[in-house]
Structure 1
Amino acid sequence: MTERETRKPRLYRSLRRAGWARRWLAGLLLSLLPLLAWAGEDPEGLMFREGDQWVASLAMDTSVHMQVHGLMAEVSVRQTYRNDSSQWREGRYLLPLPENAAVGALTLRIGERLVEGEIREKQDAKAVYEAAAAAGQRASLVSQNRPNLFQTAVANIGPGEEVEIEVRYWQPVAYRDGVFSLGLPLTLTPRYLPDASPDASYAMHATSLVAPEALPAAAASVDGGVAAGPTVALVADIDAGLPLQRIESPTHAVTVFGHAGRHRVELSNLVEASDRDFVLEWEPVPSKAPRSAVFLDRVAGEDYALLMLVPPTLPTAPLPRELILVIDNSGSMSGASMAQAIEAADRALARLRPGDRFNVIRFDDDFDLLFADAVPAEPGNVARARAFVRSLRAEGGTEMLPALVAAFAGHAPQGYLRQVVLATDAAIGNEDQLLRLIESGRGKSRLFPVGIGSAPNDHFLRKAAELGRGTGVVVRDVNEVAEKMDGLLARLDRPAMRDIQVDWPGVTEAYPARIPDLYQGEAVQVVARLDRVDGIATVRGLAPQPWSRRLALVSEKSVPAPGVARLWGRARIDALEDELRRGGDIESLRPAIVDVALRHGLVSSYTSLVAVDKTPARPADEMLASTRLANATPAGSLAFAQGSTGWMRDLFLAAVLLLGSLLLLRVRT
């Protein structure tokens, strides 16, 4: 493969031609935007006030290096904090990472000195960091807010200094429809946390659940002002181990170098705004596409394996479906996300077959069912539903729970399979509550999440599909809707395998413990801790007839892959946290999570990474100020969507809009 460039068109909105009054009004509104940003009661940014002036405070550059070997990726994220102020500063940042990332290394760099981080219980690590910060020592802390959201903190950056931290994590590569893919979230959609549910059966159990910090999870900042959003530079080295016919990014413009199975991928623009997820895809030459693979790792005398297998998809006659479309039209969906959700739902409605049944549910602060019950997919009903979907507007909060309860209520008629398609950015803070409902309250329904927008909540989407015994897809651009939705809806009719089990030699602890059903083009991926690696693993299931495949754990297809042990540790922690969510005994589960995290050096709900430079740097008579660096507003969303601004900012925005309306009325008269 020679050097080439791939591009992903961005969605832009152009202003229509306007008279002088409208142009003048647009200029006025643009000039007031900085005031709107300043007016919030929770200021954030890279400026702070000295006397009567706003001056430079703290800046951060991010660079990412991905190293891919087969189905394993090791990723380093480097954050360089630069203090341009005359004060000693602390920087804090919410760091989105893949929801299945095994975060296990931290390095603090001050000039030529390197300080390696160590894993400790969360409260101990926090105490060590705070003590070091108070003593004037340079220190860094990486803690978990949610499985796909971490917080980094760096203390005692001197005036004019740069301090770098490097966070490393390991991640499995996804494989579907013959295409490998790797994703990295670069920002987050502000989360909505509903009031406590009146339904006690789905209420939060404070004694059994790990309560994440409120978002954004940062110390109160003394800073305010306006600054450009954070940026990222990214390089990926891919050793696929087989010839590839294409490498591209559906989200960013990239340039590809290399040939055969080894390639380097760089951002074509070198530096990009951190306003949307990065996704990289590579496809092998068809004749070389893998059907199975085994990756092995040995750590502290224990053996670990990652197994991948693509089962055949046998033709089956599709059952009549009862399709329940659940559409999120809350405020966080404002902008391009709402357009994508509407197009996705419209595509699903257009593909209904004669004999199907369907209904549509939309939700924000409350929810509505289009029909009292599912109706036949007759032309009149479908036309009414498509008009209803087209009329939706984004506003209000994200009260997803009542809408899902309504979607799962009752039963489909005999002979019908109920399929619930949920279109959402999943900008919610009550993930555990919703996942508990999906696991215990869906009945015989299957749930198929459709992630919407440039920065959806991938942790919730993956877990919702797993617990809902469905599969999911992410739509990041209106131009992708037809392809992505057609692929998803085709999968609904073609389950590949169910009741999947893997028989390992000897005693084994494997995850996921219950392998989800597979749909067309999907692969079995299981990670296991083994007491022996010599032997045969047998994968079996129903497809729809009994099917099995034997794989030798040690063969010419086996590949050494450092990092598999950490993936097993992350999967083990995920399974234990699932038990907590189900109401398991925290007194026994918490120590088990801590034990796995400490043995594998992983950040978790109860463990953090901390690094401290022993030499004090800040003079005792100098104060330490804190800056929270703001995450970028997701591309295509409206910065002032409900739920993402404070009341003062909302009030100021309302005043500006009122002024604009009065001016337009005056021009017309």
Structure 2
Amino acid sequence: MLNTGIFYNSRPDGFGVLEVADDSPAPDAPRQFVPLKRTEVTGTVTGPLAVLTLAQTFALPDAAPGPIEAVYRFPLPGDAAVTGVQVRFGAVEIRTELKEREKAEGEHKAAKRAGRQAALVTRESPDVFTLSVAGIRAGEEVVVRTDYVQVAKAEGAGWSLRVPLTTAPRYVRADESRSPHANGQPLALLRDPGHRFALNVTFAEAEQVRSATHALAVEGDRVQLREGEVTPDRDCVLTWRAKAEDRSALRVWTQPDPATGKAYFLALCAPPKFADAKKVPREVILLVDHSGSMSGAKWEAADWAVERFLAGLSEDDAFSLGLFHSTTKWFGERTRKATPENVRAAVEFLKQNRDQGGTELGVALEQALARSRSAETPARHVLILTDAEVTDAGRILRLADQESEKPNRRRISVLCIDAAPNSALASELAERGGGVSRFLTSNPDDDDVTTALDEVLADWSAPVLTGLTLEVNRAGVEVTGRSVALVVPGPTSAIDVGDLPAGRPVWVLGRAPLGTDPLTFRLRTGAETVAEVHADAKGITQRLKAFFGADRVRRLEYLLTGGTEGEDLRTQVTRLGYEPAELGAEKVFAENAGESAKDAIRKLLVCESLAAGVPSSETAFVAVRSEIGQPVQGTVAVANALPAGWSNQFLNLRAGRKSASRRSFREYLAGPAALPCPAPAMPADAVVESVDSMLMDFDADAAGDTTTDYDPLERQKNLQPLGMKRKSSPPPRPSGPPAAKASTAAPGAGAPAKLTPEMISRLREASARGPRGALPALGDVSVSVKAGQHAPTDGAILYDSATGAAGQFTFLSVALGDGGITADNIDRELTLLLFVGDLAAPRARVKLADVLRLGGRRPLNLRREAGQPVRLTLEDPNGAWAAGTPALEIVLGWRA
């Protein structure tokens, strides 16, 4: 996933990492000495608003000889508004001040040299921050509390909130190495970083609080983790329903601000499922991420999603398919009608191309948007399947902005697949692109990712509402991430909401001039008014200005990193509410023009950040204690947890220097002479000007050697970039069951899978090979159902196991004995439910029609712990097989 560009924002110098030395450490052994002990998220959630605090606790053992500085890169939601940081050194609490970054860093540096305790919080990218805490003393806790507010996403009849817990490596293009967002990398990665995460949040007027990523303990309104503390190796996703929820088509909250003459508003648009909504022909471009970071379950789930999506298209639809990593491969030069022949050829193209490399998402998206457009297709979409782990967000979002201006625009949607995705970019790209974003985990401990993808893609089979707009009875309305047009007669502003599957809700955040008449909002589709409301003053009013300011800051940062220049830059700045004159006189030479524009944007960014009280890449929070103590005697990097589901090839890279060897904790306790900063070039009171990570791919023979010093620049010459290794040996795709290969019909043709003794034998042989070139799997679960054996109307139990060994279910295969039953004529609601551990909630839901349409096999990604029960049932809500099931052969792939 990473290339040599990552090294351009790395340094050969750096800082040591304190840890307990082991004579024979395992490659992924947890670090035993970590100054960061615990991270806890606390706060309250009321309706869709979350007011949260991230508390990070640092401590040294009582025997530590001198104070140290700890440096940690940590994530926050990219769409949140950070409202303040407080620091407590022992019993003394200090509130930080938001200042220009250079000034804040200077104060932190001076405090370290003077022996004062200090804390610095800088923002590297919208969702990645660096925390430096200087003066951590033995026996004294240091707690850093970061306050932020966030709006939940509307999911069906409920809400969802994503709390990011770790930072994953991100692909950096060579020409992005100087971008401030390129610094949003982890300092180091370990399977177990040694620190833990806890949750303690109160939900007001909520019910059914759940999490697909973490086991919860819910007592009344209070929600905690069932295990108390966990390794922070995945995002924590919370879902809930509000009691007596008002989910009308349009809800609006406002915050009048007489000081600025503006009214800030937040609108929830939830268009109903109209009876007259029609399934319109679509032109869809699928972009599938085949970079190195997608290896494993994410790759299989993404490919399944493509096959599933293509099989659901009608012949009135058109599609293109592009596979991208370092380069992009296209299935044909033009879009094609979704005929059975074209769909079959596209699936074969997907199966044959298994190479991988870097993550050139922007290059692929630009190619997709430049493809020819069908004049007769009313709904045009780009659907991207990726983990979005890139840093060139500015230019990618610039593509979305440019596309939004076109009369025949394509809507951009993102299915983000990862345990710890770049959710900030995915959400922003979908919002600016007029589409939707969904996030799915690839962790086997969570719900089956393929089942979740099935549910997401089902939305695109629903009727689509096109051209939705939100009208506000004011001119000069400003909206974050969406285009606004003036409607005449007026004054009325029309906000583009996008093309949406019927019933999908979205947020619209903006501000409008205050006036004498009340603000009125109308949600419209074409000439029809869906809903109309007048502004009220209830609900979450006091936070909207901070939200709007945080979004303006984020948009200015993307302008700074997006390479926007000339008239286009002036247009974008005007849309943000600034005067073009603030950019200064236009320069003649390109070099001068580029630097002059960046300097002007930086000035606007600083002013907006300080005025709104929210941080940016050009500002920072700093706190300095007046009391003078001992000078800092060393700097310690705190590692992030490698996201669940990621390959070990991304494990650790210590940020370090050749002369600063790893010191054991015992040596540290011996005194300052043994501290890990002995080189004259980095004295004890030095400030680490850059704490960028040295992210490289260790070969197998070096992966276990965690004690040898290395020269980062020398290793850079000898190592290939992450994600670009072994291009000639891509991971093999699991072969489908013979039943699928025997069919000559297209995936969309509903080919029958006839059950014969020979085919059953071949099916079992194929299942034993296991997925993706794994070692032969022993103990695959084979379920044979005789004709008429079950009447599954109320849920027939096909397989039940009370106990068993630990392992992972990797695929499911189905074959039918009745050749007359096909994907086209089978009841759509016939569903296999797979329960693992909890027999009350299925971990996977598999529609038989979908499996048959794609040849009889689909991937699974479910872990079973030792002793957990497993149950497979058949659900038939419509009673299609009430008289009895036909003969079935089902195989559950198993890997110990």
Shorter chain as denominator, the TM-score bin is: 0.7 to 0.9
Q: Which of 619, 622, 638 in structure 2 is aligned with 1:629?
A: 638
Q: Secondary structure at the match of 1:139?
A: strand
Q: Which of 253, 268, 293 in structure 1 is aligned with 2:226?
A: 268
Which has the higher mean CA deviation after the structures are superposed, 588-597 or 414-423? 588-597
* Separation in 1, partners of 2:74, 2:14: 19
Contact residue 45 and residue 225 of structure 1 kept, 8 A: no
Question: In structure 2, what is the equivalent of residue 457 of structure 1?
Answer: 422
1:295 deviates by 3.7
1:538 aligns with 2:520: yes
1:256 aligns with 2:241: no
- Closer, same or farther: CA 228–468 of 1 in aligned 2, 3 Å: closer
Contact residue 76 and residue 127 of structure 2 kept, 8 A: yes
Q: Which has the larger radius of gyration?
A: 2
- Closer, same or farther: CA 490–650 of 1 in aligned 2, 3 Å: same
Question: In structure 1, what is the equivalent of residue 180 of structure 2?
Answer: 211
* Separation in 2, partners of 1:276, 1:409: 35
1:594 aligns with 2:552: no
Question: In structure 1, what is the equivalent of residue 498 of structure 2?
Answer: 517
Q: Which of 255, 272, 282 in structure 2 is aligned with 1:321?
A: 282
* Separation in 1, partners of 2:249, 2:105: 46
Q: How many residues align?
A: 594
Contact residue 69 and residue 561 of structure 1 kept, 8 A: no
- Closer, same or farther: CA 625–55 of 1 in aligned 2, 3 Å: farther
Deviations 1:120-159 (A, max 9, x none): 1111111111111221111111111111111111111123
Q: Which of 385, 397, 402 in structure 2 is aligned with 1:423?
A: 385
Q: Residue 571 of structure 1 aligns to which amino acid in structure 2?
A: D
- Closer, same or farther: CA 648–501 of 1 in aligned 2, 3 Å: closer
Q: Which of 412, 419, 431 in structure 2 is aligned with 1:447?
A: 412
Q: Secondary structure at the match of 2:181?
A: coil
1:47 aligns with 2:33: no
Q: Residue 222 of structure 2 aligns to which amino acid in structure 1?
A: R
Question: In structure 2, what is the equivalent of residue 21 of structure 1?
Answer: none
1:307 aligns with 2:267: yes
Q: Residue 237 of structure 2 aligns to which amino acid in structure 1?
A: V
Q: Which of 312, 326, 331 in structure 2 is aligned with 1:351?
A: 312
Contact residue 72 and residue 563 of structure 1 kept, 8 A: no
Which has the higher mean CA deviation after the structures are superposed, 337-346 or 310-319? 310-319
- Closer, same or farther: CA 44–98 of 1 in aligned 2, 3 Å: farther
Q: Residue 469 of structure 1 aligns to which amino acid in structure 2?
A: G
* Separation in 2, partners of 1:391, 1:45: 44
* Separation in 2, partners of 1:398, 1:282: 34
* Separation in 2, partners of 1:573, 1:72: 20
* Separation in 1, partners of 2:528, 2:361: 38
- Closer, same or farther: CA 415–182 of 1 in aligned 2, 3 Å: same
- Closer, same or farther: CA 83–593 of 1 in aligned 2, 3 Å: same
Structure 1 runs not aligned, ≥5 long: 1-39, 197-203, 659-663, 665-669
* Separation in 2, partners of 1:633, 1:50: 21
Deviations 1:504-525 (A, max 9, x none): 5698655455343152333353
Matched ranges for 1:49-88 at <5 A: 56=33, 58-84=35-61, 85-88=64-67
* Separation in 2, partners of 1:494, 1:511: 27
Deviations 1:48-94 (A, max 9, x none): 67999998352331011131122321110011112244342111111
Question: In structure 2, what is the equivalent of residue 609 of structure 1?
Answer: 621
Q: Secondary structure at the match of 1:649?
A: coil
* Separation in 1, partners of 2:278, 2:21: 68
**Bigger proportion of residues as strand:** 1
Question: In structure 1, what is the equivalent of residue 374 of structure 2?
Answer: 413
Q: Secondary structure at the match of 2:104?
A: helix
* Separation in 1, partners of 2:75, 2:610: 22
Q: Which of 511, 534, 555 in structure 2 is aligned with 1:552?
A: 534
Deviations 1:544-596 (A, max 9, x none): 333264433336xx225432221121123234345543333445443333223
Matched ranges for 1:165-244 at <5 A: 165-196=144-175, 211-216=180-185, 228-240=193-205, 244=206
Q: Residue 41 of structure 2 aligns to which amino acid in structure 1?
A: V
Question: In structure 2, what is the equivalent of residue 479 of structure 1?
Answer: 448
Contact residue 118 and residue 624 of structure 2 kept, 8 A: yes
- Closer, same or farther: CA 534–72 of 1 in aligned 2, 3 Å: farther
Contact residue 523 and residue 531 of structure 2 kept, 8 A: no
Question: In structure 2, what is the equivalent of residue 566 of structure 1?
Answer: 546
Q: Residue 40 of structure 2 aligns to which amino acid in structure 1?
A: S
Question: In structure 1, what is the equivalent of residue 240 of structure 2?
Answer: 282
- Closer, same or farther: CA 429–513 of 1 in aligned 2, 3 Å: closer
Q: TM-score, normalised by structure 1?
A: 0.79
* Separation in 2, partners of 1:156, 1:512: 42
* Separation in 1, partners of 2:601, 2:420: 32
* Separation in 2, partners of 1:418, 1:272: 43
1:650 aligns with 2:619: no
Which has the higher mean CA deviation after the structures are superposed, 140-149 or 155-164? 155-164
Structure 2 runs not aligned, ≥5 long: 1-11, 26-30, 484-494, 570-582, 584-596, 654-693, 706-724, 727-774, 776-896
Question: In structure 2, what is the equivalent of residue 341 of structure 1?
Answer: 302
Q: Residue 184 of structure 1 aligns to which amino acid in structure 2?
A: V
Q: Residue 522 of structure 2 aligns to which amino acid in structure 1?
A: R
1:610 deviates by 0.9
* Separation in 1, partners of 2:350, 2:319: 13
Q: Which of 306, 311, 327 in structure 2 is aligned with 1:366?
A: 327
1:382 deviates by 2.3
Q: Secondary structure at the match of 1:554?
A: coil
Q: Secondary structure at the match of 1:462?
A: helix
Contact residue 334 and residue 641 of structure 1 kept, 8 A: no
Q: TM-score, normalised by structure 2?
A: 0.60
* Separation in 1, partners of 2:217, 2:96: 34
* Separation in 2, partners of 1:642, 1:624: 28
Q: Residue 398 of structure 2 aligns to which amino acid in structure 1?
A: R
1:356 deviates by 2.5
Q: Secondary structure at the match of 2:548?
A: helix
Q: Secondary structure at the match of 2:367?
A: helix
1:291 deviates by 4.5
Q: Secondary structure at the match of 1:470?
A: strand
Q: Secondary structure at the match of 1:90?
A: strand
Contact residue 90 and residue 140 of structure 2 kept, 8 A: no
- Closer, same or farther: CA 288–447 of 1 in aligned 2, 3 Å: closer
Question: In structure 2, what is the equivalent of residue 105 of structure 1?
Answer: 84
Contact residue 81 and residue 150 of structure 2 kept, 8 A: yes
Q: Which of 97, 103, 112 in structure 2 is aligned with 1:133?
A: 112
1:488 deviates by 4.1
Deviations 1:157-203 (A, max 9, x none): 1234321111111111221322211111111221011233xxxxxxx
1:326 deviates by 1.2
* Separation in 1, partners of 2:352, 2:650: 18
Q: Secondary structure at the match of 1:271?
A: coil
1:299 deviates by 7.2
Percent of aligned pairs with the same residue? 27
* Separation in 2, partners of 1:282, 1:469: 26
Deviations 1:455-493 (A, max 9, x none): 111121112212322212112147243444443452475
* Separation in 1, partners of 2:190, 2:270: 52
1:652 deviates by 2.4
